Structure formats: C-alpha cells, structure tokens
C-alpha cells in the first residue's frame, strides 16, 4: 500500500487557518467524539451537578496571573497552559466573573495500560464547574492540556494515540456550564509541550517523497484551534538518503541568497530538510548543497516531478504501509 489511511476518516475535514489568515493544508475535523447521554454516575442527563469532583487528596493546579509567577506554560497577559494529569484539579476563573471554578478529568479504556489497543477508544469524563460530561474518543489516551488564552477563554487539548505511530488532538471549549468539542486534528503537541500558547511545536506525519514526521510552530487561535505560524515543516529524517535514478533539475539557493536551476546527476544522495506538504521539498546533497524539488499533485496522493511520477526519479521511496 503506497499511502497509509489517515485517522481523518473519523471526522469531517476543516482547513487550519494560518497565523496570517491564509488557509494551509493542515486539517481539523468536526464531531471527533461521541457525547454520552449519561453522566459518570449513570444518570440520564449529559450534564449534572458533580458531588465528588474534589477530594482532600487531589492535586490542585492553579494558574497564575501571568505577571511573573512561575507557572508551566505562562506568557504575558494571563495566557497559560498546564499539562493536567488524571485526578488533578485545574482551578481558574472560567467565566470572567471573578470567582474560580474547577476542572478535572478521568478516563477509562485504551491508554490505561500503556499504548494498548483493546477497544480503539476511551471514555473521557470531564468535570467542569459543577457539571460532568462524558466523551467517547477514538484511539487511546495520551495527554491532556488545559489552556487559557489572553482573552480569558479556556480550551482543553486532548491528545490521543493511534496505530502505526499516528496521533490526534481533540479540542474542547470549556466554561463553568459547557464543554463543547470544536474539532479533531491529525498530529500531536511537540516534545517540549506548550511553553507558550502563542508559539509551540506541532508534529504531523507527512507523505511526500516518503513518510516521515514534520514539525512547525502553531499558536492557539481566536476560535481555540491551533493556527499555523509558518507554512514550512521541518522534516525529521531518520531513513537512508533518497537516491536519484536519473538526472533531475532542481532549484539551488546560493550563499548570497540568489537561486539558480541546476541538474543533479543520477546517483545523487539527498536528505530531505523542509516541505510545505504540497508543492515542494527542500533537501541537501552529501556536500551540503541545499536544493528545492518542485512537486505537484491532483489527488493528494500521487506526486509528480516535472510531470513525471515521483518513482521515476527515486528508487525505493520510503512510504509507510
């Protein structure tokens, strides 16, 4: 199989908006979860008063005021991000009414015993304010981030793992009286977590001249979903170099910033460096020359180089699946 079937099949596609307002190729998906009509206690309503949200032994994470207190993921004007563990309590003013509410969660299903795959889903029970609501999420539990933006809005980023090293993040808007799913995106939060809600790493699987991971900076947008801060993805390449089967004309960037077309001979080895996932891939030759390979696609799966299938230029392209 040339391409791996993405987890996007479970949700409807919506384009991620970049930081400058242009649309990019990253996808968000609506309706990523099923909302249970029962509460954690088995009642018939989706939202109820929660009497057992807090216990004396619970860990409480209170966000700072954004003006110098040392807190994970803080930045100016009160924006912050906290990685929340199961059973921990996040305490903040969720509604701007100068009173603090509490958020906590628990889950059952895949993810309780490492990266297991028993049900291919898990149930997230979310306590917010005096309410509790359950969500069924595909995949296995990975991590939970609670985010406050500069405007005082609160979002929960729920990370899930899937087969073959794939990840997704489901985004919820949270207040004291509602928890609403906003969408589900392919990818995961970078290894450094969310140190700044306006600029943090986002990692996705990319399929262009091979399958590999790519990273770029995003920030939490005005609607709660991540917004790209740059078009290019930095490639994590851990495979053998790509080897040309025949000569290929590429665009080379010179040290003075100028560019020129150059023909690389057959046998040239290339290490991918950067891509926009759609129109080009930047690579380096063994002597450090940086070059750009322009590509095109009509179906999002088959890529062409100078009007010829990519496999005509490269031997053994390392696609997954």
Say whether pTM exceeds 0.85: no
Tokens (6 digits) for 159: 């990370």
What pLDDT does 285 receive?
A: 96
Nearest partner of 204 among 176, 267, 246, 162, judged by Cα? 162
List pLDDT tens digits, range 62-85: 655 443 344 455 544 489 999 999
List pLDDT tens digits, range 243-261: 999 999 999 988 888 999 9
What pLDDT does 257 receive?
A: 84
Instruction: Mark the ranges of the chain whose per-residue pLDDT is less than 70.
Output: 1-77
- How many CB atoms are closer than 10 A to CB 135? 22
What pLDDT does 35 receive?
A: 54
Torsional sign, CA 179, 60, 110, 141: positive
- In the numeric block, the tokens 């070059």 are attached to 291
List pLDDT tens digits, range 190-208: 999 999 999 999 999 999 9
Greatest C-alpha distance within the chain: 71
């Amino acid at each position: 199989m040339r391409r791996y079937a993405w987890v996007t099949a479970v949700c409807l596609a919506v384009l991620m908006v970049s930081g400058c307002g242009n649309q990019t190729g990253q996808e968000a998906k609506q309706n990523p979860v099923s909302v249970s009509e029962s509460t954690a206690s088995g009642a018939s309503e989706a939202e109820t008063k929660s009497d057992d949200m807090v216990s004396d032994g619970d860990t409480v994470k209170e966000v700072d005021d954004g003006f110098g207190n040392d807190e994970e993921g803080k930045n100016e004007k009160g924006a912050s991000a906290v990685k929340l563990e199961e059973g921990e309590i996040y305490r903040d003013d969720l509604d701007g009414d100068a009173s603090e509410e509490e958020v906590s969660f628990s889950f059952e299903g895949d993810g309780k015993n490492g990266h297991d795959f028993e049900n291919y889903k898990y149930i997230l029970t979310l306590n917010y304010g005096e309410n509790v609501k359950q969500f069924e999420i595909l995949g296995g539990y990975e991590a939970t981030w609670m985010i406050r933006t500069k405007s005082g809005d609160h979002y929960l980023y729920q990370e899930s793992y899937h087969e073959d090293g794939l990840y997704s993040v489901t985004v919820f808007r949270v207040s004291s009286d509602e928890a609403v799913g906003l969408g589900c995106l392919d990818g995961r939060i970078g290894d450094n977590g969310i140190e700044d809600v306006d600029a943090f790493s986002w990692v996705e699987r990319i399929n262009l001249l091979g399958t590999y991971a790519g990273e770029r900076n995003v920030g939490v947008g005005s609607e709660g979903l991540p917004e790209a801060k740059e078009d290019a993805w930095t490639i994590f390449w851990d495979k053998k170099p790509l080897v040309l089967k025949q000569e290929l004309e590429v665009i080379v960037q010179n040290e003075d910033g100028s560019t020129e077309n150059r023909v690389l001979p057959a046998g040239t080895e290339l290490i991918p460096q950067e891509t926009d996932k759609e129109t080009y891939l930047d690579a380096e030759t063994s002597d450090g020359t940086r070059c750009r390979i322009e590509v095109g696609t009509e179906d999002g799966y088959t890529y062409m180089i100078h009007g010829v299938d990519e496999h005509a230029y490269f031997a053994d392209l390392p696609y997954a699946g």
